[in-house]
Amino acid sequence: MTTGPAEPATAEPVTTVGSAATAGRLRLAMVGLNRKLRKDWPDDLTPSRLSALATIAAGEPLSVGELAKRMAVSTPTVSHIVDALDKLGLIDRLQDPNDRRICRLTASGAGTELLEELTRRTTGRLAEHIHRLPPAQRSALEAALPALEALAAAPE
């Protein structure tokens, strides 16, 4: 009796059952925390608008195309977000000195103030929630921070 070539060994899936369960729990916890922290946001400040505003405020003036790339969304989607932020007075559009067809986006004074206020409020609210945790859970959270920071910084 002849047998065919040996079947190639299949690689073990990257995601193990334990990792998938941890990922699911972490995702749900993050969703719940985000909901709690967004509770006092202005109604017209959606998560995508806040993300765009924070990205714009984080550095040098950006073109709409560069903002779309950084947010990993289409240029038309970012254009709608930018229009909304502009109407809210949260960004300024500056003409590019080298190419008049391009505008550069910066956070306005009101946009910067709003980001600072939301940071203070959400950090304060989160600190209150952390303070109410039992000491063992606070310690566990502090111990988990390096891993969470690594996850946030990991390349896609």
Q: How many Å apart are CA 111 and CA 11, to the nearest integer?
A: 49
Distance of alpha carbon 110 from alpha carbon 113, whole angstroms:
5
Q: Which amino acid is at 39?
A: K
Listed in sequence order, the DSSP H helices in 38-108 are 47-57, 64-71, 75-87
Q: Are the C-beta atoms of residues 63 and 71 closer than 8 Å to each other?
A: no
Quickly list H helices, the chain.
17-37, 47-57, 64-71, 75-87, 109-132, 135-153
Share of the chain above pLDDT 90, in %: 69
Query: In the predicted model, is pLDDT for residue 141 greater than 60?
Result: yes
Question: What local confidence, expressed as pLDDT, does residue 104 receive?
Answer: 94
Q: Which helix (H) or strand (E) holds 100?
A: none
pTM summary value = 0.74
Q: What pLDDT, on the 0 to 100 scale, is given for residue 11?
A: 52
Q: What is the mean pLDDT of residues 13-25?
A: 80
Res 12: pLDDT:
53
Name the residue with tokens 């590019």: 96
Tens of pLDDT along 68-77?
Answer: 999 999 999 9
Q: Which H helix or E strand runs over 90?
A: none
Q: What is residue 51's predicted lDDT score, i.e. its pLDDT?
A: 94
For 98-135, write each residue's pLDDT tens digit.
Answer: 888 889 999 999 999 999 999 999 999 999 999 999 99
DSSP designation for 94: E
Residue 24 has pLDDT above 90, yes or no: yes
Average pLDDT over residues 13-39: 85
